[in-house]
């Protein structure tokens, strides 16, 4: 067993203990609710998955194992004279949770090297496919063609205990990551170049070797690929790629099946394909304006043209992020430092200035800011990687680092089969009817309470006319006490439950009312039932009941009726 594997193995028990403790002692603690619109809306925002490798903050962006991207660009090892973090180091961090030391990078590099030979039948499989087949389809099939080598599947068939299956999971995951540059580079060579395969250079790192095997030997390209592969490696567990890998893996399908499935999700235009689409869209915009660099007015016109045609602005918006993606910022800083005059970069910069305002006016996207895909293609383009369809393959190679790390951990922790419950629209309609009923119960309760109180107030006013002032006041305080205790709480309960829009104002009035009661009671206790006090109490009740009950409470009842469709 290698030292890397041993170290990983030692991390398991403490993690398992933490999880066991949580489930045993806090298993019933509620984490998230789900609404009907979330069910139809892609379960956005529902916290229902675990992923330790990274976590996405809507405002701050991704953190890999708790570290921000700028922190890691600083902290992760680099090649001598290089500025960009080595993806090998990031993989070590993602899978172990610890920053690598120099030896660790060598360990990981050796792990990759030992497994980097791609069998000939993979190239033959790719060669049997049409050259114009999408590079993402080729990638997915290339990975799947290796499935027969899976140690995971082999050991499962041989009866290895499930709890030990993390070891073959690690073996397969390392094997996929190690082979990916060779497979991706060959897809590039056969699709866009002469089809001649370039062997790996044992002296180069994982990212540089990918460039080398694509046929690009240039230190700057090595650097940009290190940055690209670092930035795209993980985006917590809920994105389609990561979730697909976990979902498929939860059936104990091996890493080849699971990762290939994840790549099919990444190929979608709303996800990883957006990086190609951004450049296609920019090319069309340039064509539309006769070439050159369109000015901001033209850009704005073209954005509206796209939106009015019912199309999306690729590279903008995000399901979780609500600010500019820090991956975008990292790429922008790289471009500003290295090629600020680049034409495409200038267009990308103008888009940054124009698109968010237009999307805000358009009023649909919850996040008008750019995501990583708005910038990544322009950087590759600058370094002469101009085959747009290939950009998502590079994204996929990078994403293997995160999703396969978590695949291994899922087996280490004995993750169970994912199997949420599905329901029908009819079921939800039934639920909605029940909700309406409970809503009408709310209205009924409040209405009844109002009626009872008004009755009681009437009898108190009758008592007042008999002239027993002190008793009258004591009765009134009893009444007010009950009112404060019960009725206000009841109203607030239903207002909160059904998101009554004037809740804050209503609550303010309640507080004011409670405060007046308190002050009057204090006055009664110190001075007795003076005439002034009787007048004040009467005034307050008149004010409250005529103003509050007859108008505000009526408005609230109307609201409940309108949202509940109860006539």
* Active-site choice (107, 325, 373, 553): 373
Residue 243 designated active-site: no
Q: Give the N- to C-terminal CA distance of the chain in Å, as an integer.
A: 73
Beta-bridge partner residues of 370: 316
State the Cα–Cα distance between residues 410 and 109, nearest whole angstrom.
23
Structure-block tokens of residue 466: 């008999």
Contact between 272 and ligand CMX by CB under 6 A: the answer reads: yes
Dihedral of the alpha carbons of 492, 496, 499, 503, in degrees to the nearest 10:
40
CA distance 278 to 286: 12
**Count residues contacting ligand CMX (CB under 6 A)?**
21
Q: Which of residues 379-418 bind ligand CMX (CB under 6 A)?
A: none
Q: Report in angstroms how near the CB of residue 369 gets to ligand CMX at its nearest.
A: 10
* Residue with smaller CB distance to ligand CMX, 84 or 392: 392
Among 249, 201, 209, 251, residue whose Cα is nearest residue 226: 209
Is 271 known to be catalytic?
yes
Min dist CB 368 to ligand CMX, Å, is: 8
Q: Does 169 bind ligand CMX (CB under 6 A)?
A: no
Task: Name residue 55's beta-bridge partners.
Answer: 63
Distance between CA 408 and CA 53 in Å, rounded?
11
- Asked if 313 touches ligand CMX (CB under 6 A), the answer is yes
Q: Binding segment for ligand CMX among 116-124, 291-299, 317-325, 376-384 (CB under 6 A)?
A: 317-325
Q: Give the whole-angstrom CA distance, residue 481 versus residue 139.
A: 73
Could you say which of 238, 317, 356, 442 contacts ligand CMX (CB under 6 A)? 317
Q: Determine if 327 is a binding residue for ligand CMX (CB under 6 A).
A: no
Provide the Cα torsion 346, 350, 351, 353; round to 10°: 140
Does position 323 bind ligand CMX by CB under 6 A? Answer: no
Instruction: Select from 99, 407, 56 the least CA-distant residue to 257.
Output: 407
Say if strands 54-57 and 61-64 run parallel, antiparallel, or are unpaired: antiparallel
Q: What x-and-dash track marks residues 17-56 binding ligand CMX by CB under 6 A? A: ---------------------------x------------
Residues 6+ apart with CB under 8 A from 539: none
d(C-alpha 378, C-alpha 385), whole Å: 9
Q: Is 106 a residue of the active site?
A: no
Strand segments (E) across 227-305: none
Single residue of 274, 347, 354, 385 touching ligand CMX by CB under 6 A: 274
* Among the listed residues 173, 367, 378, 398, the single contact to ligand CMX using CB under 6 A: 367
Q: Is residue 361 near ligand CMX by the rule CB under 6 A?
A: no
Query: What is the Cα–Cα distance from 378 to 126, expressed in whole angstroms?
Result: 28
319 binds ligand CMX (CB under 6 A): yes
- What character string, x for contact with ligand CMX (CB under 6 A) and - otherwise, covers 214-243? -------------------------x----
Query: Which range in 31-39, 77-85, 312-320, 405-413 contacts ligand CMX by CB under 6 A?
Result: 312-320
3-state secondary structure of 61: strand
Task: Kindly identify the residues of this chain, within the stretch 538-567, that bind ligand CMX according to CB under 6 A.
Answer: none
Query: Of the two residues 15 and 312, which places its CB atom closer to ligand CMX in the complex?
Result: 312
* Choice among 57, 271, 389, 449 that is catalytic: 271
Please identify every residue annotated as catalytic: 271, 318, 373
Task: Give contact residues for ligand CMX (rule: CB under 6 A).
Answer: 44, 239, 270-272, 274, 307, 312-319, 364-367, 371, 373
């Amino acid at each position: 067993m290698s030292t890397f594997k041993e170290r990983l193995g030692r991390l398991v028990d403490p993690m398992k203990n933490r999880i066991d403790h949580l489930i045993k002692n806090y298993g019933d603690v509620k984490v998230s609710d789900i609404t009907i619109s979330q069910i139809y809306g892609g379960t956005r925002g529902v916290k229902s998955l675990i992923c330790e490798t990274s976590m996405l903050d809507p405002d701050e962006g991704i953190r890999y194992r708790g570290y921000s991207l700028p922190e890691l660009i600083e902290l992760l090892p680099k090649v001598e004279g290089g500025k960009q973090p080595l993806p090998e180091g990031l993989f070590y961090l993602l899978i172990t949770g610890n920053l690598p030391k120099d030896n660790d990078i060598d360990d990981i590099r050796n792990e990759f090297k030992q497994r980097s030979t791609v069998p000939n039948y993979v190239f033959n499989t790719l060669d049997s496919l049409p050259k114009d087949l999408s590079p993402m389809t080729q990638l997915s099939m290339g990975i799947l063609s290796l499935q027969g080598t899976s140690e995971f599947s082999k050991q499962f068939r041989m009866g290895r205990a499930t709890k030990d299956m993390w070891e073959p999971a690690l073996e397969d995951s390392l094997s996929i990551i190690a082979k990916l540059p060779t497979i991706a580079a060959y897809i590039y060579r056969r699709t866009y170049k002469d089809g001649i395969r370039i062997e790996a250079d044992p002296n180069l790192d994982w990212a540089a070797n990918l460039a080398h095997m694509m046929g690009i030997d240039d230190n700057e390209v090595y650097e940009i690929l290190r940055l690209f592969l670092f930035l795209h490696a993980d985006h917590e567990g809920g994105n389609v790629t990561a979730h697909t890998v976990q979902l498929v893996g939860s059936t104990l399908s091996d890493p080849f099946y699971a990762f290939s499935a994840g790549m099919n999700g990444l190929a979608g235009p709303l996800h990883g394909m957006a990086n190609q689409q951004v450049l296609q869209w920019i090319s069309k915009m340039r064509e539309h304006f006769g070439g050159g660099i369109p000015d901001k007015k033209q850009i704005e016109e073209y954005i509206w043209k796209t939106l009015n045609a019912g199309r999306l602005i690729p590279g903008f918006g995000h399901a979780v992020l609500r600010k500019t993606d820090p991956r975008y910022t990292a790429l922008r800083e790289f471009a500003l430092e290295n090629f600020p005059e680049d034409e495409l970069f200038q267009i990308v910069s103008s888009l940054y200035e124009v698109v968010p305002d237009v999307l805000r006016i358009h009023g649909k996207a919850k996040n008008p800011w750019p995501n990583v895909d708005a910038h990544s293609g322009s950087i590759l383009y600058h370094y002469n990687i101009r085959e747009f369809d290939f950009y998502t393959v590079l994204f996929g190679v990078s994403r293997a680092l995160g999703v396969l790390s978590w695949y291994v951990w899922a087996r280490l922790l004995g993750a169970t089969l994912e199997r949420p419950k599905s329901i029908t629209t009819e079921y939800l309609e039934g639920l909605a009817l029940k909700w309406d009923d409970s809503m009408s119960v709310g209205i009924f309760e409040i209405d009844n309470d109002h009626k009872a109180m008004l009755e009681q107030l009437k009898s108190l006013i009758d008592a007042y006319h008999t002239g027993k002032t002190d008793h009258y006041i004591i009765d009134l305080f009893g009444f007010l006490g009950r009112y404060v205790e019960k009725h206000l709480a009841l109203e607030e309960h239903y207002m909160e439950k059904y998101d009554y829009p004037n809740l804050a104002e209503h609550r303010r009035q309640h507080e004011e009312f409670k405060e007046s009661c308190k002050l009057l009671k204090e006055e009664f206790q110190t001075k007795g039932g003076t005439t002034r006090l009787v007048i004040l109490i009467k005034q307050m009740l008149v004010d409250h009941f005529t103003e509050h009950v007859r108008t505000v409470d009526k408005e609230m009842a109307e609201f409940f009726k309108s949202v509940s469709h109860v006539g």
